Structure 1
Amino acid sequence: MTDSQPRTVPRVELLVKDGCHLCADALAVVEEVCTRHGVRWHAVDVGHHPELAERHAEEIPVLMVDGVQRDFWRIDPVRLERLLTAGSA
């Protein structure tokens, strides 16, 4: 008997802001890992979302997976990979 539960695709967002040198590094990590796993993601500029800018002011960039903060400042590619593959097996 096989498990026929469909795998849910994680929702990945990266909160960034203009002029943030850590954001450039984070964008590259998220792009590489998500592309390798076929996971769509998007960057959210906190400059257009004052509530996010206030909430995460000292943590940008922030990695969100399925609405949960998973990393900030430096995005760990190994951790992101684990998060993306946690539901598969």
Structure 2
Amino acid sequence: MTRPAPAHANDARVVVYTRLGCHLCDLALELVATICADTGDSWTQIFIEADDDLTQRFTDQVPVTYVDGAQHDFWRVDEDRLRAALAG
């Protein structure tokens, strides 16, 4: 069962959980920023190292992407899937 995104996600429509030095995170952030700029949706990045619970939950799954409080993807962001989720 997928837990909802933590409240400190600032009510952004898309939340990307990352960690420093993660090349997949960098790619995901670039794609999320581009898509959200196109759609006008809000997004935010949260570093998992800043929170012990997040570090334990996501460890090696980063980047982990949430849309509207529900886990959407991990490791990679699929552009078509994210655009469809934001349109729906």
Q: May I ask how many residue pairs the two structures share in their alignment?
A: 77
Unaligned runs of 5+ in 1: 1-9
Aligned residue identity for 2:44: H
When Rg is computed on C-alpha atoms for both structures, the one with the higher figure is 1
Alpha-carbon distance, 1:50 to partner: 1.3
CA RMSD of aligned residues (A): 1.1
1:15-54 alpha-carbon deviations (Å, 9 max, x no partner):
0000101001000110011110001100001111111111
Q: TM-score, normalised by structure 1?
A: 0.82
Given candidates 27, 32, 35, the residue that maps to 1:33 is: 35
CA distance in 1, matches of 2:72, 2:65: 6
Unaligned runs of 5+ in 2: 1-11
Given candidates 56, 72, 81, the residue that maps to 2:83 is: 81
Taking the TM superposition and a 5 Å limit, the aligned residue runs for 1:40-51 are 40-51=42-53
Percent of aligned positions that are identical? 38
